[in-house]
Each structure stands twice: as structure tokens, then as C-alpha cells.
């Protein structure tokens, strides 16, 4: 009798565990479906990033030591086009590249910030200093052509960590990457291009963050 009671207790515990698992899975599925439905109803759009102004006052490359000297100031706008969605920008890191080679990195956030619905946030970034980069003969030829024209092709790569708020629900972290291709006229004493910088819209690509490491 004791053995039978013991077996029945084990069977009851197993059935209880099974029902608990079914309940937990059902709750998760309901939350997930509610999230998907809310997502499609609200149809949130991605943020928009523009470089609205760029001032290049130094951009010298010395072939005998492969040193690039530079000073680039940027004005950047982040636009949240959504009516019912708030976007939290936790981290923004920007790389500046020339001929595919990174010559500087700047962090544009310290404590993070949010961009409310239908709002725009403005940022400033400055890349200044010198960096060793190796250009081949073709790339040096391109640099000399740009030097003659007074307009340089500089690329930006932004690495972000963001969260999205829909009502009281805040999503997990996303890690979008942003690419900008700039044509920046040189503006310095005695050497100023007649060209003017045009506002440049950047391209955004999304990745889901897998951990809490900094971007």
C-alpha cells in the first residue's frame, strides 16, 4: 500500500509539473502574440539619422610616414518619426574612415537619452588628431585628386544600442549599425573649397543584441 501511495504521489507531482509547464508556455505565447499584434497595429518605423553639417578644417596625408592629420566637426540629427513609440539610445559609438580604414572613434553618449514621439535630438561630434593609415598607390592617387578638388570622401559607421518603448512595454536591446557616406569640402585658411556640404541621410541596419556588452 505504501508503495502504491508513493507511486501515486510521484504521478501526481509529474502531472502537476506538466500542467505548470503548459501554463508557463501558454503565458509566454500570449505575451509574445500580444507583442506581435501591438507591433503590427502601431507599425513602428525606424529612427532617421542625418549628418546635417560637416566642417573639415584639416585633412593632410604625408606619404613618407603614412600619417593622416585631420579635424572634422559634425552636426547630427536623430529623428523619431513615430506617433506612439519612444526610442531610448543607450550607446552610440562613431567610427570615421577614409578609404575603408578607421582613423578615429568617438563616443557620442555618456548616460544615454531618449527621443520622444515625433521628436528630433541633435548631437555634435568632433574627430581630431592624427593616425597611421596605409594607402596603396591607387588610394594615394584618389587622395591627390580629392585634394585638388577640395572635397574628401569620408565614411562614418555608427554602432548603437537602443530600446523601444510601446506604451508601458520596453523591448530588449537592439544594436543597429548606421553607415554614412560623406562628401566633405575642406574649409581652412588659404585653402577653402567652393563646394558646400549637403545634408546626408544615413542607412540603418538592425541586429538584436545578444548580451549587455558595450557596442
- Look at residue 209 in the predicted model and tell me its pLDDT: 45
SS3 160: strand
pLDDT-based confidence at residue 171 (cuts at 50, 70, 90): confident
Question: Which residue has better confidence, 95 or 63?
Answer: 95
Q: What average pLDDT score do residues 37-44 get? A: 56
3-state secondary structure 179-205: EEEEEEEEEECCEECCCCCCCEECEEE
Quickly list DSSP for 9-70.
HHHHHHHHHHHHHHHHHHHHHHHHHHHHHHHHHH-PPPPEEEEEEEEEEEEEEETTTTEEEE
CA dihedral of 105, 106, 112, 113, whole degrees rounded to 10 = -120
pLDDT of residue 151 exceeding 70: yes
If phi over 0 gives left and psi between -120 and 50 gives alpha, with beta otherwise, what is residue 168? alpha
pLDDT of residue 213 exceeding 50: no
Instruction: Enumerate the β-bridge partners of residue 61.
Output: 68
- Look at residue 215 in the predicted model and tell me its pLDDT: 47
What proportion of the chain, given as a percentage, has pLDDT over 90? Answer: 60
Q: What average pLDDT score do residues 150-158 get? A: 97
What is the chain's mean pLDDT, rounded?
84
Amino acid at each position: 500500500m505504501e508503495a502504491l501511495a508513493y507511486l501515486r504521489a510521484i504521478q501526481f507531482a509529474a502531472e502537476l509539473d506538466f500542467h505548470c509547464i503548459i501554463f508557463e508556455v501558454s503565458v509566454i505565447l500570449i505575451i509574445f502574440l500580444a507583442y506581435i499584434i501591438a507591433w503590427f497595429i502601431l507599425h513602428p518605423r525606424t529612427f532617421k539619422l542625418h549628418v546635417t553639417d560637416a566642417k573639415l578644417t584639416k585633412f593632410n596625408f604625408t606619404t613618407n610616414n603614412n600619417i593622416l592629420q585631420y579635424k572634422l566637426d559634425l552636426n547630427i540629427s536623430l529623428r523619431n518619426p513615430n506617433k506612439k513609440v519612444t526610442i531610448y539610445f543607450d550607446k552610440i559609438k562613431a567610427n570615421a574612415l577614409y578609404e575603408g580604414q578607421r582613423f578615429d572613434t568617438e563616443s557620442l553618449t555618456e548616460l544615454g537619452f531618449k527621443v520622444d514621439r515625433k521628436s528630433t535630438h541633435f548631437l555634435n561630434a568632433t574627430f581630431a588628431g592624427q593616425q597611421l593609415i596605409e594607402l596603396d598607390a591607387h588610394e594615394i592617387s584618389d587622395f591627390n585628386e580629392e585634394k585638388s578638388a577640395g572635397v574628401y570622401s569620408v565614411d562614418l559607421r555608427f554602432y548603437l544600442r537602443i530600446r523601444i518603448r510601446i506604451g508601458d512595454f520596453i523591448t530588449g536591446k537592439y544594436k543597429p549599425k548606421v553607415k554614412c557616406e560623406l562628401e566633405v569640402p575642406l574649409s581652412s585658411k588659404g585653402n577653402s573649397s567652393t563646394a558646400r556640404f549637403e545634408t546626408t541621410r544615413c542607412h540603418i541596419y538592425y541586429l538584436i543584441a545578444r548580451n549587455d556588452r558595450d557596442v
